Homo-oligomer: A and B are copies of this chain.
Amino acid sequence: MATVKLLDYEDAPAEAKAVYDEIKASRGVEDVNNFWKAMANNPSALRTFWERMKAVMGKGELDPLTKELIYVAVSIANNCEYCIHSHTAAARSRGLSEAQYNEFLEVVGLAVNGNALVNAMKVPVDEQFKV
């Protein structure tokens, strides 16, 4: 259970309904995910997050699949179950293959392993990185 009520379309305030409509149209889906139904308890925060997600995750200097992988990597490190599920699914809908996913997992595993070794031994930053 969430700490807030998940607001279905009919129960959501008008300002939230407008965002739901945009999400449904933008993604071609019949209903919005639970994340948006939780955010709708604060309609202005819902609006802000949706605008920001559109602006940040769309195609720019980095492609949308790369952005989704970065999002999933962060979510794994923070162990956000919902985020891992929704953004791994988003990465797949952006074309992530199983072979790419396997490589992604290997990079994440190497990174956390390297992080732990470096943090454990308190390796000092090399001078050349300090410029």
* A111 touching B60, Cβ below 8 Å: no
Chain A contact residues (Cβ within 8 angstroms of B): what range? 35 or more
Q: A117 contacts the other chain (Cβ, under 8 Å)?
A: yes
A91 nearest in chain B by CB position? B3
Which residues of B lie under 8 Å from residue A14 when comparing CB positions? none
Copy tally for this chain in the complex stands at: 6
Query: How far is A89 from B49 in the complex, measured between Cα atoms in Å?
Result: 25
Give a binary string over A75-116; 1 marks a CB under 8 Å from any B CB, 0 the rest: 111111111111111000000011111111111111111111
Which residues does A use to contact B, with CB under 8 Å?
Answer: 1-4, 6, 33-35, 38-39, 41-42, 45, 49, 52-53, 56-57, 60-62, 66-67, 69-89, 97-126, 128-131
